[in-house]
Structure 1
Amino acid sequence: MVRGDLFWGLQGALDRRGLGPVAGVDEAGRGACAGPLVVAACVLRSGDAARLPELTDSKVLTAKARDRVYDRVVQRALDYSVIVISAAEVDLFGIHVMNLEGMRRAVSALRSTPGYVLTDGFRVSGLPAPSVPVIKGDKAVACVAAASVLAKVTRDRIMGDLHDVHPHYGFDVHKGYSTTEHSAALTTHGPSPVHRWSYANVATAAAAHRARPPHPVVLTVAALENPSVPIRALSPYVGNNERSAAGVAAESRGGARIS
């Protein structure tokens, strides 16, 4: 479907005021407990609505539709970048810290500095251009939706490759998110090197299997406050990562709502 004027309107308004090019930024994999966090930035042509008729939030597209939109965005975008952040970095610095850092990296990786940046939901400091967070930006703004598709398709393909290396977990199906099947595999096999060992469910499975993290791990506050996580069994391999607490993430939420 061709989205209405509102979907392209914010970018168009910024372009008309000489504040373009406008880059949209979004991530995929924030809520997963295995695999990387992937962040993309994308600059679209303001007049491309008719040429990107299926473009919308990646989460509401089927896998086949996402692949079609991905190919079209890559073909039509004025500029784009995709950044992959490993589970090891997430474990060391926390998901929220790396989410924001990934957005900075993605914008910096564009071939030219944008005039304005629209991020999906989070305020991001340290960007090379003025920016504003847009609530549910992947549903509200075309360039953010395009970034969401680039990030999601890239990450899904990575998880398919990781399934070939670690077939016990079903990464090709659940993409590293905490499904019933994934939880059962964690209980049976313990975590793999590509799991996020700082997460409560992964840390619990690791302790049950007497497994040690393959890289430095700083537990989230949520994990530290979870009575089911046997902290002593994991010490001294883990520490306290207050920067990834849910409260920090909540404080950084905000921005414009486009509806």
Structure 2
Amino acid sequence: MATSLSEIGYEQALAASGFGPVAGADEAGRGACAGPLVAAAVILSEDPQDHIEDLHDSKTLTARRRERAFDQIKAHALSWSVVCVGPAECDRLGMQEADLQGLRRALLRLDPSPGFALTDGFAVAGLPVPGLGMWKGDRVCACVSAASIVAKVTRDRLMVRAAQQFPVYGFEIHKGYATKLHQERLEALGPSAIHRRSYANVRRAARLNES
């Protein structure tokens, strides 16, 4: 499925108004109770030869299509960056602030620097350029879609790697989200080093395993 004109319209309109290059940013893992929050930012190339297929909300794509799109983004984007906010830092900051800081760090790492930032859901303060938060931005803006794919693929790979270190929790299956399988193992075994201790279900499991 090719990138549609509606998806790149926002970037084109902003660039035509002198705000280019336009970056998109998104995160993965905010709702998980284990593992990092991963934020990504992408500036897409305006060259038609750098066309990338499957730029859609990463959650609507199969794992294979996400991986293929990720490879294309790395090869053809003008710039991309990814930032991991670890579980301990998520606990310390709280998830809203961890989200904001992750997105801000990812956008600030882009080279060249963007002239405008589009983010999924809410705007990110503290940037040296103007920005706009867009409702369902990962579905309507190509650069935000690209960032959602980079964040999702990166985080999934990290959770598969975590499963090798903590094989009893099934991280390779649920990626740290509170599924029935994950909750059962969490309550039976207690939290691992990568669980977010600020989450109520993790604290409950910790108490169960202290008794």
**TM-score category (smaller protein):** over 0.9
Is 2:80 the counterpart of 1:73?
no
Runs of at least 5 residues in structure 1 that lack an aligned partner in the other structure:
212-259
* Contact 1:8/1:49 (<8 A) preserved: no
Pairwise CA RMSD of aligned residues? 1.3
How far 1:112 sits from its partner (Å)?
A: 2.5
What is aligned with 1:163? 163
Mean CA deviation greater in 34-43 or 49-58: 49-58
How far 1:48 sits from its partner (Å)?
A: 4.3
Structure (1 or 2) with the larger CA radius of gyration: 1
Question: TM-score normalised to the size of structure 2?
Answer: 0.97
Is 2:6 the counterpart of 1:6?
yes
Using the aligned pairs only, state the percent identity.
48
What is aligned with 2:202? 202
How do 1:189-228 residues align onto structure 2 when only pairs under 5 Å count?
189-210=189-210
How do 1:16-31 residues align onto structure 2 when only pairs under 5 Å count?
16-31=16-31
Output the CA distance in 2 between the equivalents of 1:49 and 1:17: 23
Output the CA distance in 2 between the equivalents of 1:207 and 1:123: 37
Output the CA distance in 2 between the equivalents of 1:195 and 1:46: 41
How do 1:115-194 residues align onto structure 2 when only pairs under 5 Å count?
115-194=115-194
Output the CA distance in 2 between the equivalents of 1:47 and 1:121: 28
How far 1:11 sits from its partner (Å)?
A: 0.2
SS in 2 for 1:204: helix
How far 1:47 sits from its partner (Å)?
A: 4.8
What is aligned with 1:60? 60
Runs of at least 5 residues in structure 2 that lack an aligned partner in the other structure:
none
* Larger relative contact order (CA 8 Å, sep ≥ 6): 2
Question: TM-score normalised to the size of structure 1?
Answer: 0.79
SS in 2 for 1:209: helix
How far 1:17 sits from its partner (Å)?
A: 1.4
How far 1:53 sits from its partner (Å)?
A: 2.1
What is aligned with 1:247? none
What is aligned with 2:15? 15
What is aligned with 1:246? none
Output the CA distance in 2 between the equivalents of 1:149 and 1:76: 14
Output the CA distance in 2 between the equivalents of 1:49 and 1:60: 25
* Contact 2:3/2:52 (<8 A) preserved: no
How do 1:32-51 residues align onto structure 2 when only pairs under 5 Å count?
32-48=32-48, 51=51
How far 1:198 sits from its partner (Å)?
A: 0.4
* Contact 2:50/2:77 (<8 A) preserved: no
SS in 2 for 1:132: strand
Aligned residues: 211
Output the CA distance in 2 between the equivalents of 1:193 and 1:123: 32
Q: Which runs of 4+ in 1 moved over 4 A?
A: 47-50
* Contact 1:2/1:49 (<8 A) preserved: no
SS in 1 for 2:127: coil
Output the CA distance in 1 between the equivalents of 2:23 and 2:50: 19
How far 1:157 sits from its partner (Å)?
A: 0.3
SS in 1 for 2:150: helix
Output the CA distance in 2 between the equivalents of 1:123 and 1:79: 20
Structure-2 change in CA distance of 1:100 and 1:138 (3 Å)? same
* Contact 2:82/2:106 (<8 A) preserved: yes
